[in-house]
Structure 1
């Protein structure tokens, strides 16, 4: 495999780079925005022509959900135009592109789990720009996998787990939103899944290209997620005392961008197609010390 990774310093990109390091018969070119501006089509084309990947994994994204409401042009440049350039270059090189997307492409008010075939209806700039990126990738490259995920956390980068541990170390009381539900997803699991799919493609296995959902189980609220984080942290003596948690509503915690109340993604399709099970996010917290700092 010759794998080009973009966004290599992000949560998933970091895990991808680590997991692929030293793999036999695998050559990796891991790039971040300092090395490759994916919004620059000429730079993208040059990188792909020079490296000649057979797999491109796009882990680059503008993920600042609230900032996106103001940084509209930047959001679309990174979340739509960049993926489009990468997909076009992949098509010319005969490569497959694996592109990470989000639950924010949905309205977030469905009862039950979202299927890949459900109607998209993003409620903010972030979701709109990510959906535009999905469409661009699908139209530009025949061999594409779009992996929608949600509530990503890991040892690298900023995420909910790290925020909770930081706040829990200094505060006795915390208010956490309890009416938004989803599946926390470990970044290392997302990376592992992308590598499994990439290997299937390069080995010539049967692959149904298109959109897949991958996230964690069990589904919980942010409040329930926080409870588990602190219970685990206290058990492993990462923090001495669990702060008092209060469940609040979305209306009590207003944000510039609307959050989905339901981010539950069905992982049935990816399990059936690739024998990939949902992320076990509770297991990913077993080494919670790694998330501190």
Structure 2
């Protein structure tokens, strides 16, 4: 989807004429839209030209306030439609140079369409995947960050968590463990007033309850598998944006820290344990979707002139 298509969709869903939206944007952000007119707005919507990145972010923020949603109007699409809209090749920009979280397993012969991403609770492979993730987490060895095998499995089976795994023709390629937890519990975890090992099923937010996404264990054998896991995560965020307030996680790993930063999560606070520094990162879902990287992932590049 080009940004102009999204702009037109949001304007029409808000029942605004082009003239009304021009006036609204001017009042919203005089610095960016002081010279805007209906002719320019029309060219943006048709894709003849496009707004600069700073203007795209400002327009997104305007519609966030108008609809009171982090990414309005994309919630009108179903999962398959959203999957086609998101640009998998741009997701690679999230990963940077990493050898610990993402291996370089050969992928030239792999098609992304053949990589199966699924909820772990629906899979017969739940035990080996959790065993692998538990072993993988031992490098951090901190109750502030890690979950035991027993708790990981308990949470993976819970109907309101988002524990993913992915396979290629029956062979495991990776996992991504996230769960929406209650806002007050999330706050305690980010402040290191509570350890991840202390979380119970009562702390998990229900499907229609406001909560914050806690990012947990993540690993992939190659960038294609990593991209498909993050793609599914974006779809989940878009579909559930009305109940997600923030997202965040904590780590001792420099690679995980870089991944969080690439996702526009901000360094929040730190603590020390066993001679290691643990850093927490967090961001509101609104600011997550108005980051440069999210715009690159959500809206296709084109050759039209910026104005």
Please indicate the TM-score interval, normalised by the length of the shorter structure: under 0.3
TM-score (norm 2): 0.26
Q: TM-score, normalised by structure 1?
A: 0.26
Q: Which has the higher contact order (CA 8 A, sep 6+)?
A: 2
Greater radius of gyration (CA): 2
